[in-house]
Amino acid sequence: MTVPDSIETSTLTQLRQAATEAAQHAYAPYSSFRVGAALLLDTGDIVSGCNVENASFGLTICAERSAMVQAVARFGPKVRVQAVVVTNLNRAASSPCGACRQFLAEFASADTPVFFPDAAGETMQTIAALLPFGFSSDSL
Ligand code: THU
């Protein structure tokens, strides 16, 4: 995995830690799949979130969207995401779901790196690679 030069190793370590700490707060009584996500904002701030499930199942919010909503709530509508780290406490390979890819893309750039667990440990893909042909405000 090649980490972009824009992301310092120590920052990546902090992001992984923030994501893992957030995962410990997950509300996942139905799946027991505990996910955490940490966002590096262009201000250097780090914001994290966890998945929050619901008895209706469909209302469940993933860790990535939870973190993104938290970032906007704390820093306002102009937030931009420089990097994303997703972890889970289940030692499972797991990439962001389609809804989260679309949601993150709203506040990220095509080349924003997203780190997530794979079979070998961790991998990285850009937003553009994760969401080819995503819908954007350009179409409106
Ligand atoms: N989940 C996430 O938080 N992020 C993802 O990218 C995939 C899935 C959560 C939703 C649900 O609470 C649990 O993982 C099982 O799907």
Alpha carbons 36 and 16: distance in angstroms, whole number: 9
Give the three-state DSSP class for 135: coil
Nearest Cα to Cα of residue 55 among 93, 29, 24, 20: 29
State whether the beta carbon of 31 lies less than 6 angstroms from ligand 1: yes
At 110-137, the pLDDT tens digits run 999 999 999 999 999 999 999 999 999 9
26-57 pLDDT per residue, tens: 999 999 999 999 999 999 999 999 999 999 99
- 9-131 topology per CATH: Cytidine Deaminase; domain 2 (3.40.140)
Q: Which atom of ligand 1 is nearest to the CA of 100?
A: 6
How far, in Å, CA of 67 to CA of 122, rounded? 19
Catalytic residues: 64
Whose C-alpha lies nearest to ligand 1, atom 2? 62
For the Cβ of 63 lying below 6 angstroms from any atom of ligand 1, the answer is: yes
Contact 63, 72 (CB under 8 A): no
pTM over 0.85: yes
Question: How many angstroms separate the CA atoms of 101 and 90, rounded?
Answer: 21
